[in-house]
């Protein structure tokens, strides 16, 4: 059987969504992704590259490099919670609703790692 594009419930082969609510939520998701997709990509690229740059600077110079790593993790986690845009393959496998939950959980994990790192960097 075919599954609803948003929630993953089984539907007939002639439908895309199980009800109008799922259709509306899927439309909102795609509109939001189209509207903020480039901004999401720019900020995530910045935050992702802050982590290895911080590691490199920390190994060579030290100092503020710890802050770059923490900002990278926390910023990436916040962006994934505010704008949970999973990849197309993830949406195809898990559908939109579950993919967004997975992205948000991963974002929370990144924020926790960043905050633990901040505490470790402050203490040591």
pLDDT at 59: 84
Q: What are the pLDDT digits (tens) for 24-73?
A: 999 999 999 999 999 999 999 999 999 999 999 988 887 788 899 999 99
Containing domain of residue 115, as a range? 2-123
pLDDT at 51: 94
Task: Give this prediction's pTM.
Answer: 0.89
Q: What are the pLDDT digits (tens) for 77-112?
A: 999 999 999 999 999 999 999 999 999 999 999 999
Work out how many domains the chain is built from and give that number. Answer: 1
Q: What is the DSSP letter of 91?
A: H
Q: What is the DSSP letter of 31?
A: H
Residue that is written with structure tokens 């982590």 in the block: 51
pLDDT at 108: 98
Residue 100 contacts residue 87 (beta carbons within 8 Å): no
Measured between alpha carbons, how far is residue 106 from residues 59, 78, 80, 102 in Å? 27, 10, 8, 6
């Amino acid at each position: 059987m075919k599954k609803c594009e948003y929630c993953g419930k089984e539907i007939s082969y002639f439908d895309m969504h199980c009800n109008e609510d799922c259709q509306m939520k899927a439309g909102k998701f795609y509109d939001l992704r189209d509207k903020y997709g480039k901004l999401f990509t720019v900020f995530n690229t910045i935050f992702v590259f802050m982590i290895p740059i911080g590691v490199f600077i920390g190994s060579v110079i030290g100092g503020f490099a710890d802050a770059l790593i923490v900002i990278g993790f926390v910023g990436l986690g916040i962006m994934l919670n505010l704008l949970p845009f999973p990849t197309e393959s993830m949406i195809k496998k898990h559908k939109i609703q579950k993919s967004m939950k997975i992205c948000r959980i991963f974002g929370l994990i990144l924020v926790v790692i960043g905050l633990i790192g901040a505490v470790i960097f402050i203490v040591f």
